Structure 1
Amino acid sequence: MNTFLYFVRHADSTYTPDEWNRPLSDQGINDASLVVERLKLENVDYIVSSPYKRAIQTVEGLAVLLDCEIQIINEFKERKIADKPVVDFNKTIKKLWSDQEYSIHGGESNQNAQERGVKATIKVLQQYKGKNIVIATHGNLMVLIMNYFNKRYDYEFWQKLSMPDIYRLTFEGTELKEVNRLWSNNYS
């Protein structure tokens, strides 16, 4: 019996230093409605989300359409890069991906963020075995989780993500069988 996880990278957000409450931008709101249109075709059973507002907003239209509650799972929040904003975000991410144990003061290493995300993913797979589950999360954490199951999902893969983006991961138990990109704003 397969379990399908639909990882949804959140739509575009309006930057604020407040990670928890950063809202979707106008473009993000428009794209979130397209995410709903795509996911309503997937017979979704459950929706879980990062506690961050931008992730919740990306899937809340689907929750309304399906009349289901969004379960907040803190472990699906984005990985913390550092205590304060970094000067060159892309250079910092590249360094973090090149050394799995490297971290900046107050931030998470790839290894620590991956362990957190994978633990939550396995819990979802066990709790909702045989179901279709949407997981609203963040690009870096999503790819770290995917990387755990298949090393081809790496820094270069992360660079090609869009906001939003949807990947369907097919699992048999906790073994990843297949990954399909269902939609990205690069297709619109």
Structure 2
Amino acid sequence: MTTTVYLVRHAEPNYHNHDDFTRELTEQGLKDSLKVTAYLKDKGIDKVYSSPFRRAHDTVKDLAHHLNLPITLEDDFRERRIDSVWIEDFNHFAQKQWQDFSYKLSDGESLSEVQYRNISALEKIIAENPNKNLVIGSHGTALSTIVNHYQPDFDYSAFSQIKHLFPFIVKLTFSENICQSISFYNILKEPPHETSLL
């Protein structure tokens, strides 16, 4: 039996809102979230999950509405906590974290911690949904740590190529809890561009 998971990186957020939980999508982000619906609406989606953060939830909201499915919020799919204060030099911080998965600021999370809780949540819903097609509203760093778990050579260089892309989709296929394939989809291109990652 094959379980397919579509990780959806949220659409463009409003960075003027520094609150991680309530940061909303921009007008462009709301428009681009419709491309998520257009791409996934005919993929036989059985369930829709999301990080509790608004930007992730709102990116898959139109899809869930179109499919008449509820969105199940899963706290462990939330984005990595950087610190209790806003970080201006995100690129330098991100590079240090990717070089050392244990590195974190005083009030933040390491990538190791982010990866552990995201993988734990993912394995749980895979076990609960054999032979289903699942969507997860997620975040750039959080879903990148998932990809890294199954493909360890996915590093900072690979992350840098996608960190400014909002939204995108990563498709993972599993036989039980063994990842069989990983594909990246740039849905902002016409037609959507696919790259095999595994």
SS at match of 1:82: coil
TM-score, L = length of structure 1: 0.96
Matched, 1:183 2:197: no
Shift, 1:41, TM fit: 1.9
* TM-superposition CA deviations, 1:104-124 (whole Å, max 9, x none): 110001111110111001001
Deviations 1:4-59 (A, max 9, x none): 00000000011111111111101101100011000112110000000011111100
Counterpart residue number, 2:120: 119
**Preserved contact between residue 166 and residue 184 of structure 1 (Cα < 8 Å):** yes
Find the aligned partners of 1:184 and 1:103 in 2 and give their Cα distance.
32
Partner residue, 2:196? none
TM-score (ref. length: structure 2): 0.92
What is the percentage of aligned positions where both structures have the same residue?
33
Alignment-mate amino acid for residue 164 of structure 1? P
Aligned positions, number: 187
Q: Give, in whole Å, the separation in 1 of the partners of 2:154 and 2:104.
A: 20
Partner of 1:55: 56
Distance 2:22 2:141 in 1: 18
For structure 2, which runs of at least 5 residues remain unmatched after alignment? 191-198
| Contact 2:3–2:175 (CA under 8 A) maintained in structure 1 | yes
Distance 1:90 1:110 in 2: 15
Output one character per residue of 1:41-80: Cα deviation in whole Å (capped at 9) or x when no partner. Answer: 2110000000011111100011111111000000001000
**Residue deviations 1:79-138 (CA, integer Å, cap 9, x gap):** 001121123101100001101111111000111111011100100110111100000010
Name the amino acid aligned to 2:8: V
Distance 2:103 2:184 in 1: 30
Call closer, same or farther: CA 1:164–1:47 in 2, change over 3 Å. same
Aligned to 2:176: 173
Cα pair 2:39 2:187 within 8 Å, conserved: no
Look up the equivalent residue of 1:5 and give its one-letter code: V
Shift of 1:184: 3.2
Q: How does 1:64-75 map to 2 (within 5 A)?
A: 64-75=65-76
Supply the distance in 2 between the matched residues of 1:154 and 1:129 (Cα, whole angstroms): 30
C-alpha distance in 2 between matches for 1:104 and 1:136? 26
Deviation at 1:182? 3.0
- 2:77 corresponds to: 76
Kept in 1: contact 2:35–2:187 (CA 8 A): no
Gaps of 5+ in 1: none
Contact 1:163/1:184 (<8 A) preserved: no
Where 1:168 maps in the other structure, the secondary structure is: strand
Correspondences of 1:144-163 after superposition (within 5 Å): 144-161=145-162, 162-163=165-166
Aligned residue number for residue 12 of structure 1: 12
Q: Which amino acid aligns with 1:9?
A: R
